[in-house]
Amino acid sequence: MSNLILTDFLKSLGLLGAFLILGVFIRAKFKIFQKTFIPASIIGGFLLLILGPQCLNILPVPSEWFKTYSLLPGILIIPVVASIPLGLSLNSNSNKIDNNYLKNLFPLFGIILGVSVFQFAIGYSAHLIFPNKNLYSTFGAELSIGFVGGHGTAGILSNILSDLNLPYWEIAQGVATTTATFGIVGGILIGIILINWAARNGYTQILKKPADIPESIRIGFEKDILKQNSIGRETTISSSIDTVAFHSALIFTACGLAYLLLSFIKKFKIPVLSSITVWAYAMIIMFIIWGIINKLKLSHLIDAKVKSKISSSFTEYAIISAIASLPIKAISNYIIPILVIVFLGYFFTTLILFYFCKRFLKEYWFEQMISVLGMSTGVFLTGVLLLRICDPELESPALTNYSISYTVTGIIYYALLNIFILMPLNYGIFFSILMTSFISFIFLLFSIISSRLLFGKTFKGN
């Protein structure tokens, strides 16, 4: 029986893989997708959703596969989050990045976290805007989870809610997937509009022509072999173990130990620790593993780019499976509140980032702002995409600041995520809105103070 189950699961992954490939070719073929830079996983996911049992139901595949797809994001997000600390380094080896530029990191930390937390306040405000809509208790958390966390993080929400035996966990995951989709598409469109405006008004330091976007970025792949980037160093010899397999083994080990630790904690019913989710323990354990690797002076075995490609692969499958299994009928009951918080999210996220980056960051403020906008409405690679549009050759040092700030703030965000999701259940909506607004204010205040301390009171912004 187990062999049949695994075989069936492999077949279901085959279907996801086929639609991922289909998404790649559709993106490369149709101008509308090239101009909007919609990822292949989203294109393939929606095509599979339309052809699957939720809509047209014309695919000759079991409907149980789509139930499996609804569970995949919650599983795949665990290795994605667990991998974050592996290879973590705050040092830059680039000669063109000086300490004065790296000073932008501290105000940038505050700006990113301030925006991320304020999105929870915006989402929870839906309960005040629609008092008669009978929204479930945690509705609204999906805005930040979808915008900042992305499709994969929707699985964290479903894990937390299902562990609490809350019946709406699948709907919440669907809502988070919807906000994540709106976030990526809308964030890219807003980003492109801002880049064109900034280029015309002289705010971009490298891009001079608004339409000067490389073909490879538009179609989604590089045709010239000589220009194709490497996915990382081969840190191990294949006669012993493949490099990708070695990095994967470390990630899976952290996940396995996290499950063992959590089961031990729940067995002995340890207060507080029992309520912490498995992905949080996986990240903590990976910090320990990475610390041991450094202590043993074996850091040369780890390549952050290889690790990133592994976690990105999990993310691609999390995205397409989350979209393909969207509970459309259930989500349709919440479509108006979803649209309202999404558009409020667009407005306030863009406004806060534009003002604070322009006012409190020094040099390449727009390049940093546009990359953070991509991350705050999509995923890390969305930010890289927008940055490459206004800095095609990555000549500016903005990518370094963006990468470091994403790593540090990502750790803090995921550490606090469980608290923000459970806040409405423990303290009510009104308290949750006030508290998340206050925490957001503290982070933004930190960005102001750090900017003044690092750049001096004479610095008045750009």
Task: Calculate the alpha carbon distances from 133 to 129, 332, 384 in Å.
Answer: 9, 13, 38
Angle between the N-to-C axes of helices 169-200 and 335-360, in degrees from 0 to 180, rounded to the nearest 10: 40
Burial class of residue 375 in the structure, from the number of CB atoms within 10 Å of its CB (0-12 exposed, 13-18 middle, 19+ buried): buried
**Tokens matching residue 439:** 């925490």
At residue 360, the pLDDT reads 93
Phi, psi angle pair for 272, to nearest 5°: 70, -55
At residue 296, the pLDDT reads 96
Per-block average pLDDT, block size 10, for the chain (462 residues)? 85 97 95 86 94 92 92 88 84 52 88 97 97 93 93 84 89 93 91 89 76 74 88 94 97 96 90 79 93 95 94 91 89 94 97 95 90 90 83 77 85 88 95 97 96 87 79
At residue 370, the pLDDT reads 94
Q: Please, what is the Cα angle at 46 between 40 and 51, to 5 degrees?
A: 125
Q: What is the pLDDT of residues 384-437, one digit of tens each?
A: 888 888 877 777 778 888 888 888 888 889 888 989 999 999 999 999 999 999
At residue 158, the pLDDT reads 87
Give one word for 456, left, alpha or beta, with left for phi > 0 and alpha for psi -120 to 50.
left
In this prediction the pTM is 0.82
Which three-class secondary structure state does DSSP give residue 84?
A: coil
Q: How far apart are CA 195 and CA 371, in angstroms?
A: 11
Fill in the amino acid letter for 19. Answer: F
Q: What is the pLDDT of residues 2-24, one digit of tens each?
A: 788 899 999 999 999 999 999 99
Q: How far apart are CA 200 and CA 351, in angstroms?
A: 19
Which three-class secondary structure state does DSSP give residue 415?
A: helix
Phi, psi angle pair for 229, to nearest 5°: -75, 155
Q: What is 289-357 written as a DSSP string?
A: HHHHHHHTT-GGG--HHHHHHHHHHHHHHHHHHHHHT--HHHHHTTHHHHHHHHHHHHHHHHHHHHHHH
Neighbours of 162 (CB within 10 A): 17
Q: What distance lies between CA 3 and its chain's CA centroid?
A: 34
Nearest to 182 by CA among 4, 386, 335, 401: 335
**Tokens matching residue 277:** 């989710």
